[in-house]
Structure 1
Amino acid sequence: MNLTGTHIAYLHTCHRKLWLFANGIQMEHNSQLVAEGKLIGENIYLDRARKYTELEMEGIKIDFYDAKNKVIHEVKKSDKVEHAHFAQVKYYLYILHKNGIEGASAILEYPKMKQRQIVEWEEDDLDKIKIWLTETSGIIHQEHCPPLLKKPICKKCSYFDFCYAGEGGID
């Protein structure tokens, strides 16, 4: 299985969500929040599709890649799980690096908050990503779904109804 940026983001968000997603239970298509995030990405930066290319390789899909300057532009709705966004673009940089694209960087953009964060490839990133790949594979290949942890972030998750059916909500 080719891992995607989504797998890596979910590793840093929720192991249960990662396992469900990787094992074919995908709820993003039912989520208003996911739809809102896509609309922001498509409508805030109208000239992006003309200026930048979409890049797909080894299971990843980068919507806005500035090939001339080797910059990934990743648009996010909010910074609620910023560490997961950061990990996702680090994984994209890893795939680019692995495929001979040296010196690439990324910009995480949060248009609703009018914030941007530059993400660079760092020397120890390869070691971190190897650990992430091992952890991701381990979770994906578990026989059973990881337990529900009941975190505040669950309320806005596309898997909320699935995970909390019969659970009585979050304390």
Structure 2
Amino acid sequence: MEKDITGMDIYYYNVCIKKLWYYSKSISMEHGNEDVSIGKMLDSDSYKNEYKNIRINNTINIDFIKSKREIHEIKKSNSIENAFIWQVKYYIYYLRGNGVEVNKGVIDYPLLKKKIDVFLEKTDYERIENMITRINFIKSSPVPCQVEKMKICGKCAYYDLCFI
């Protein structure tokens, strides 16, 4: 397990590898982005009775823990749900690798009034380890990867940097 791989690395890897590269080089375009600001407000205004933003080893940042064995992530929209699922699976993988037995993760969508349960299956370990290898490769590359323009690119904070 790599200590340098964060939950954001896993998330960005599953959204866009070019965005992952920029993020790994501390190039941030998200300041002032409306969608990012809304997400931050949603995170701070939701689940106020929970102890939130639990940072572990400067590697993962869990939105909140409902019980000792259930972690939660708060998300605005389910448009890139697959990336959220792998981020939560990585958190479970990371915690288990550090001796914390977590049974499941939950992705909370307060605006949608929806929750989904996320479980780390035995078959997910190999996929996560492959992601870690690829992420390390992408982060060590001297130039960003070329990517195809996707539907989600139009709302991305990095759009101007990538396509204009």
TM-score (norm 2): 0.91
Could you report, residue by residue, the CA deviation over 1:116-164 in whole angstroms, capped at 9, with x for unpaired residues?
1001121112111101101111111122111242111011111112223
Structure 1 alignment gaps of length 5 or more? 166-171
Cα deviation for residue 111 of structure 1 reads 1.2
Q: Which amino acid in 2 is paired with 1:40?
A: L
Alignment partner, residue 21 of structure 2: 19
Whether 1:47 and 2:49 are equivalent positions in the alignment is yes
3-state DSSP class of the match of 2:40?
helix
Could you report, residue by residue, the CA deviation over 1:67-118 in whole angstroms, capped at 9, with x for unpaired residues?
x432111000101111100010011001100011124311001111111100
Over aligned residue pairs, what C-alpha RMSD do you find? Answer: 1.6
Q: How many pairs does the alignment contain?
A: 162
Could you report, residue by residue, the CA deviation over 1:28-64 in whole angstroms, capped at 9, with x for unpaired residues?
2231111101111111222123xx6724125111121
Tell me, in whole angstroms, the C-alpha distance in 2 between the residues paired with 1:53 and 1:144.
32
TM-score (norm 1): 0.87
The structure whose Rg is larger is: 1
Whether 1:151 and 2:153 are equivalent positions in the alignment is no
Structure 2 alignment gaps of length 5 or more? none
Alignment partner, residue 114 of structure 2: 115
Poorly superposed stretches of 4+, deviation over 4 Å: none
Alignment partner, residue 105 of structure 2: 106
Tell me, in whole angstroms, the C-alpha distance in 2 between the residues paired with 1:161 and 1:131.
30
Whether 1:64 and 2:64 are equivalent positions in the alignment is yes
- Compared with structure 1, are the counterparts of its residues 53 and 7 closer, same or farther at alpha carbon in structure 2 (3 Å cutoff)? closer
3-state DSSP class of the match of 2:127?
helix
